[in-house]
Amino acid sequence: MPYLFTSESVSEGHPDKIADQISDALIDHFLAFDPQSKVACETLVTTGQVILAGEVKSSAYLDVQDIARKVIRKIGYTKSEYMFEANSCGILSAIHEQSSDINQGVDRKDKEEQGAGDQGMMFGYATNETEDYMPLALDLAHKLLQELAELRRENKEIKYLRPDAKSQVTLEYDDNNKPIRIDAIVISTQHDDFDTEEKMQEQIKNDIINILIPRIKTKYSTYANLFKGEIKYHINPTGKFVIGGPHGDTGLTGRKIIVDTYGGKGAHGGGAFSGKDPSKVDRSAAYATRHIAKNLVAAGVCEEALVQVSYAIGVAKPMGIYVNTYGTAKVNKTDGEIAKIVEGIFDMRPYFIEERLKLRNPIYSETAAYGHMGRKPEVLTKEFVSPEGKRIVKEVELFTWEKLDYVAKVKQAFGIS
168-193 residue pLDDT tens? 999 999 999 999 999 999 999 999 99
**139 is annotated as contributing to ligand binding:** no
Residues 288 and 376 in one domain: yes
Mean pLDDT of 220-233: 95
Among 350, 396, 402, 395, CA closest to 371: 402
CATH number at residue 163: 3.30.300.10
| 112 has a pLDDT exceeding 90 | no
| 6 has a pLDDT exceeding 70 | yes
**268 is annotated as contributing to ligand binding:** no
Report phi then psi at 65, rounded to 5: -65, -45
**166 is annotated as contributing to ligand binding:** yes
**42 is annotated as contributing to ligand binding:** yes
- 92 in a domain, yes or no? no
Among 196, 195, 188, CA closest to 163: 188
**109 is annotated as contributing to ligand binding:** no
Among 67, 69, 53, 54, CA closest to 25: 67
**55 is annotated as contributing to ligand binding:** yes
- 250 in a domain, yes or no? no
* AA identity, residue 292: I
**260 is annotated as contributing to ligand binding:** no
* pTM for the model: 0.96
Query: Band of the pLDDT at 197, cuts 50, 70, 90?
Result: confident
Pairing of strands 161-173, 3-10: antiparallel
**241 is annotated as contributing to ligand binding:** yes
Query: Band of the pLDDT at 258, cuts 50, 70, 90?
Result: very high
Residues 284 and 322 in one domain: yes
Dihedral angle of Cα 372, 378, 381, 385, to the nearest 10 degrees: 0
Q: Round the average pLDDT of the chain to a whole number and report it.
A: 95
**256 is annotated as contributing to ligand binding:** yes
**294 is annotated as contributing to ligand binding:** no
Residues in the chain: 417
**390 is annotated as contributing to ligand binding:** no
Query: How many domains, in total, are found in the chain?
Result: 2
Q: Return the pLDDT at 150.
A: 98
Residues 198 and 292 in one domain: no
The b-or-e profile of 8-36 (16+ CB within 10 A means b, else e) is bbbbbbbbbbbbbbbbbbbbbbbbbbbbe
**14 is annotated as contributing to ligand binding:** yes
Q: Return the pLDDT at 114.
A: 86
Q: From CA 269, how far away is CA 242, in angstroms rounded?
A: 35
| Cα distances (angstroms) measured from residue 38 to each of 100, 152, 333 | 11, 36, 40
Residues 285 and 409 in one domain: yes
| Helix or strand holding residue 355 (H, E) | helix 350-357
Q: From CA 11, how far away is CA 151, in angstroms rounded?
A: 13
Range of the domain at 176: 3-9+136-243
Residues 286 and 233 in one domain: no
